[in-house]
Structures are given as C-alpha cells and as structure tokens.
Amino acid sequence: MSVSEAISEAGTVMPASQTGEPVLRVDGLTVMVDGEDGSRPVVSDLSFEVRRGETLALAGESGSGKSMTSLAIMGLLPKPAARLAGGRVLLGETDLARLGEAGMRRIRGDRVAMIFQEPMTSLNPVLTIGRQVIEAIQAHEPIGRRQARERAIEALNAVRIPEAESRLSQHPHELSGGMRQRVVIAMALALKPDVLIADEPTTALDVTVQAQILQLLKDLQRDLGTAIILITHDMGVVAETADRVIVLRNGKMVEENAIDVLFAKPREPYTRELLAAVPRMGTSRDRIPDAERRGAAKTLLSAHDLSVRFDLTGGVLGRVNRRVHAVEGISFDIQARETFSLVGESGCGKSTTAKAIAGLVPYEGDLILDGRNIGGLDRAGRKRVRRDIQMIFQDPFASLDSRMTVGDLVREPLDIHDVGKPRERNERVVELFERVGLTADQVRRYPHEFSGGQRQRICIARALALRPKLIVADESVSALDVSVQARVLDLLKELQAEFGIAYLFISHDMAVVETISDRVAVMYLGQIVEMGSCAQIFADPRHPYTRRLIEAVPVPDPNYERAPFIRMTGEIPTPVRKLNDPPERLTLQDVGGGHLVAEEAVRV
C-alpha cells in the first residue's frame, strides 16, 4: 500500500485537543553519562506526554539533553558511556525502557521512527540510496521488492528529490547535504509511524524545502494522527509547527507551555534569552548603505564566467553520456571588508562555487584575487593563494582531526606555511583562542571535548591563523543553537572590523543572511538569477524565485498568518543534461516564459 493510499484509508483523525489520547508518555526519565570525573546526569527526572496528532517541541541549547532524551526513547543510547538510570517510556501500555534489543527492533521504524540531525551518520556510505530505503520498508512490511521499490520512489518524490528513480542507484556521498537529509526523512515517512521523533530535521535544508517538509509532516499528522516530537534550535520552526514547547537546560525542564503562551509571555529568563537571540527578517531596512558605511573599497575577488561541470558515465562501456552543470557561467565581485552572501536551495551550486574559489574543485572561467588570476598557478602559487583564502565548513566536527589536540589543529597552518618561530606560533595559537572566546588551557584538549558552538569557534580560529584576506563560510552557523549562532555571528562581525576580512557567506537561512550581509546573490540551478544590496534583495526582490525564498522563511510568531504555500508538482528541474545539450541560461529578462514561473504557477 502506498503512502497516499494509506493516508486515504486512514481518514481524518480528531485533533489532539479533542481526543486527549497520549500515544507516548515519558515518566521520570533520567540518563547518566560516565566520564573521567564519575557519572553525571544529562537528563534528570524528565516527564512529559505527547498525544495523537500533536507536535511537542523540545528546545534548548546544545547539551541541554534534547537529543539524549530522543535516544533514550529509541533505545539508542551510546553504551556503555550512557545508560538509562531511571524512569519509564510508555508507548501505549508497552514500556520501551524494559524492552530488549530484539523487541526494540520491531518497534523502531514501524511504530516509532526517528529523523537524525546528521544524515551522513545515519546512511550507510557503501550502500545505494535505493537499497537502504527499500530494506527499511521490507524490514517492517511483508511486501515484494518491486512494490517496496515503488514505495521508495514515492517517498523520495514526496520530499521533492529531483529524478527520484535515478537517485536509487546513487550512494550517499553523491548527494548534497540537503539531499541526504531528504532521503532520511523519506525513509521515516515511508513507514507511517505512530510517533515520529525529528531531531533537527530541517537544519540542512533550504527554506523552501523546509516549508514543504514541515507541511508534509503536518499532512501526515493530520491524516494519520502521528504524534511528533520536534527537536530544533529554530524558534521560527517551533512557532509554525509546534502545539506545545518544553524548554530544557542542563537536562532539566525549565518551562513547559502552549506555543502561543510561551512566545507571548515566557515565564523564565532563560526562555526569554532564547527568544531574544532569534534572527528576524527586516533588519536590513534600517541599515546604513554599504558604500556610506565602508567608504571606497577595492575589489578583492572577481569571478568571471565561472563554471563547474561534472561528467557522469553510463552504459555498458561506462562512457561519459551526461554532465552535471553545477555552476554555469556566473560572475560577481567581492569587495575588501565586505560580506557577500550566496543563497539558494540545496543543489543550486553555492557550495560548489565556494570549493572552486578555495581551489578544491576544477573550474572554467577566471578567478582574480587582488588583480592576479589564480587559475593555472603552479603548486607554489596555489600554496600562496591558500594563505589569502581560508574556509569554514558546515560541520566543525568533520573538519577537525579527532586525533589531534585543538591547539595543534590551529597551529598546523602556521607550521605548513612556516610562519614565525615555534614559540611565536604557540603564542599566536593562544592569542587566537582568546580572540574567539576560548581559553589558553583549552588548547591541549581534543575536538570531542567541546560543544558544537565551541568547535565552530576553533574552526574560525584555524581559519584566522594565516590572517587571510577572504574567508569562505559555508553554512558555518546552520547547525548551531540560536543563542550560540548569535554569538558566532557577532564574533564574525568583530573580526571583520578588526582584521579587515572579507566573507563569502553561504547559507540557506535567509534571516541570518539578512543579519550579516552587505550584498546578496541568489542562485538557482547553478546560475545567479538576482544580485543586489542586502536591503534591495530583502525589501524589493525582483525575481519570483527570490520572493519565494523570502516568503518561505519561518517567522518566530505563532500568530503570524502566512499566505498558503505553493506546493510544486510535475517534473522537478535538474542541472543534469545530456553531453551534447547546450547550457540553459536563465536571465531576469526571460523569467516570464521560464520554468521558474511555470513551476510557480502550479498549485495543489
């Protein structure tokens, strides 16, 4: 039975406020973690319940116990370091805390499913996407492989993955971060669970796909009565999605309330701090114009007709027959001391552009840094360019070598480029740590001993070590809690003012982009469709795609009435073309007849 057929047969379930039926109850949950200093609680005596058709949000900073609570419910605590020390987890009359691993295998995915924050750690890198989704379906439903394959394609289409059928033969590393997260969400939705635990389910997704996924979760909830436990640091998502909110801090419940009451009249100071840190749209309207604020600035980096294409093979002989036009003929300038942002949906070419500038992928066209074309340089020339261009990646833990101390990691660029004497390098490391809000005694620790926000600060310190002229920040704050995110953004602004750094800032969070940017370029299918000052892009967007991105941004106000979101149908555009097909150029002048407007006109 397909997902749509199951929804049709199930009919409409009465809202939770009318049924009042708890589908999951957590009573006195306590989780202990063993460390060098003994055991300590990361979740303390936590109790709550979630009803059919209800969305309960767990909010709080990193280390507050949100994810540990979800892992305890799923029976996935990292043993032996973490253990369930007390409490009950009741799914109906079944206490999940007392079930063995065999019993939990029957429950997981079928009656209780989970969407993890980091898709690469929840997908097997050596298995194809199709095999993983099909196996998840067949593990819980007695259907044949052909029917399971059809269900898998339908699930991938439901989360708006282009060319869903062809994606079945791809491996996780062949998809972007946003695409991988959509696959994980599709696996959870395909099994129609009673309880869905969503741990930062839209962190890696752009705002339009996020809006579609959240609406999809609402549809599933309305038609099947699914109870959702939503874990997120995006208070805009909380405001638009949740019915109730539990605020956690240091493993304890700080505040619990209905969504409208919590946003209007938060009782606790900590809750008020969280809400105050949320980036909000409209901040660019009162900003001093760029030229007036910075004065005359020289051009630091120019991209002229930049293109990045990847060949795809197929057929019996494995010949190249298709090509991915990841970036197609884009041009832009970045001024000294400027923050220039690239925005757009997952797969639009933002990160590929960043990698081309950082010298991590081959490209066509010209990249001119300080008047010098950096294409075609020899090894020594490329090494000199890397001193001027540094990169901050989205996942700080993946970009830090877990076998090295963080002090050695920050010092490594200084060693590679032979900057100063050994003693001077050590002093520089301490100085950098203090500059990004860390302490000198932390240089001897390892990456796993820090929180996510602290690890991102370490990555910033590493990027600053060589005093670059340009830092490429690729989704550098998307995985951070709002309060940590606000502090990191303030830090980036302070460092820019102090050292005169220019930023190429890449993000799918439009509110963050408006907060930090001077100029913005909007990308779609590998091309720039609109570019202008931050105030112009957000106050008077000209392109329908730009307007769609802005309209999809979650608003941290539960009483905000959003216009109905236009859901796409039909074939999803793709940057993959046949080998001999000419590149399709998108311009602002031809949007009246382009597929952007054609898609925009389709309503469900």
Asked if the model's pLDDT at residue 78 lies above 60, the reply is yes
212-247 exposure pattern, b = at least 16 Cβ within 10 A, e = fewer: bbbbbbeebbebbbbbbbbbbbbbbbbbbbbbbbbb
Q: Which two tokens stand for residue 148?
A: 């399971």
Q: What is the pLDDT of residues 62-74, one digit of tens each?
A: 778 888 899 999 9
Q: Which two tokens stand for residue 549?
A: 């991105």
Rounded Cα–Cα distance for residues 33 and 448 (Å): 15
Query: What are 89-95's contacts with CB under 8 Å, separation 24+?
Result: 89/24, 89/25, 89/26, 89/27, 89/29, 90/24, 90/25, 90/26, 90/27, 91/23, 91/24, 91/194, 91/195, 92/23
Q: Once rounded to an integer, what is the mean pLDDT over residues 582-591? A: 49
Q: Where are the domains of the chain?
A: 21-277, 297-403+467-603
Asked if the model's pLDDT at residue 224 lies above 80, the reply is no
Characterise 126 by phi-psi region: left (phi > 0), alpha (psi -120 to 50), beta (else). alpha
Q: What is the pLDDT of residues 37-62, one digit of tens each?
A: 678 888 999 999 999 889 999 988 77
pLDDT at 332: 93
Give the position of tokens 């795809």: 312
Query: Which stretches of 507-555 are assigned E, i.e. beta strand?
Result: 519-524, 527-533
End-to-end CA distance of the chain: give it in Å, rounded: 23
Assign 563 a pLDDT band (cuts: 50, 70, 90). Answer: low
Q: Give 126 or 600, the one with higher predicted confidence.
A: 126
The overall pTM is greater than 0.85: no
Q: What is the pLDDT of residues 306-329, one digit of tens each?
A: 998 887 777 666 777 777 788 888
- Cross-strand bridge partners of residue 304: 366
Residues 239, 558: contact at Cβ < 8 Å? Answer: yes
Contacts of 401 by beta carbon, 8 Å cutoff, 6+ apart: 409, 447
Q: Give 147 or 555, the one with higher predicted confidence.
A: 147
Q: What is the pLDDT of residues 237-259, one digit of tens each?
A: 888 889 999 999 888 999 999 99
Q: Count CB atoms within 10 A of the CB of residue 590.
A: 11
Q: Count CB atoms within 10 A of the CB of residue 466.
A: 18
Q: Would you call the peptide bond into 266 cis, given omega within 30 degrees of 0 as the criterion?
A: no
The DSSP line for 369-384 is ETTEE-TT--HHHHHH
Q: Once rounded to an integer, what is the mean pLDDT over residues 327-339? A: 91
Residues 44, 30: contact at Cβ < 8 Å? Answer: yes
**Domain range 21-277, CATH architecture:** 3-Layer(aba) Sandwich (3.40)
Rounded Cα–Cα distance for residues 481 and 203 (Å): 10
Percentage of the residues of the chain whose pLDDT score is greater than 70? 83
Residues 551, 211: contact at Cβ < 8 Å? Answer: no
Q: Once rounded to an integer, what is the mean pLDDT over residues 478-486? A: 72
Comparing 21-277 with 297-403+467-603, is the CATH topology the same? yes
Q: Which of 14-18, 341-345, 485-489, 518-522 has the highest mean pLDDT?
A: 518-522
Nearest of 289, 279, 283 to residue 532 by alpha carbon? 289
Asked if the model's pLDDT at residue 440 lies above 50, the reply is yes
Q: Give 383 or 516, the one with higher predicted confidence.
A: 516
Q: What is the pLDDT of residues 110-144, one digit of tens each?
A: 889 888 877 777 888 899 999 999 988 888 888 88
Q: How many CA atoms lie within 13 A of 122 on its CB side?
A: 22
Residues 554, 210: contact at Cβ < 8 Å? Answer: yes
Nearest of 291, 191, 198 to residue 534 by alpha carbon? 291
Rounded Cα–Cα distance for residues 372 and 366 (Å): 10
Assign 18 a pLDDT band (cuts: 50, 70, 90). Answer: very low
Rounded Cα–Cα distance for residues 519 and 537 (Å): 8
The one-letter code for the residue type at 88 is R
pLDDT at 288: 55
The total number of residues shown for the chain amounts to 604
Rounded Cα–Cα distance for residues 219 and 206 (Å): 20
Nearest of 109, 149, 111 to residue 129 by alpha carbon? 149
Percentage of the residues of the chain whose pLDDT score is greater than 90? 22
Residues 349, 327: contact at Cβ < 8 Å? Answer: yes
Helix axes 177-189, 145-158, angle to 10 degrees: 120
Q: Once rounded to an integer, what is the mean pLDDT over residues 493-503? A: 88
Give the position of tokens 């379930």: 13
Asked if the model's pLDDT at residue 556 lies above 70, the reply is yes
Asked if the model's pLDDT at residue 15 lies above 80, the reply is no
* CATH of the structural domain 297-403+467-603, one choice from 3.30.70.20, 3.40.50.300, 3.40.50.2300, 2.60.40.2310: 3.40.50.300
Residues 334, 294: contact at Cβ < 8 Å? Answer: no
Nearest of 507, 539, 503, 540 to residue 523 by alpha carbon? 507
Q: Once rounded to an integer, what is the mean pLDDT over residues 213-218? A: 77
Checking DSSP bridges between strand 470-474 and strand 389-392, what pairing results, if any? parallel
Checking DSSP bridges between strand 502-506 and strand 470-474, what pairing results, if any? parallel
pLDDT at 595: 37
Q: Identify the DSSP state of 478.
A: T
Q: What are phi and psi of 435, to 5 degrees?
A: -70, -30
Characterise 106 by phi-psi region: left (phi > 0), alpha (psi -120 to 50), beta (else). alpha
Residues 337, 502: contact at Cβ < 8 Å? Answer: yes
pLDDT at 596: 39
pLDDT at 504: 94
Q: What is the mean pLDDT of the chain?
A: 80
Asked if the model's pLDDT at residue 10 lies above 50, the reply is no
Lowest mean pLDDT: which of 53-62, 309-318, 487-496, 497-506? 309-318
Give the C-alpha distances (Å, rounded to integers) separating 264 from 56, 127, 234, 523, 556.
Answer: 18, 47, 17, 36, 11
Q: How many CA atoms lie within 13 A of 591 on its CB side?
A: 17
Rounded Cα–Cα distance for residues 403 and 171 (Å): 27
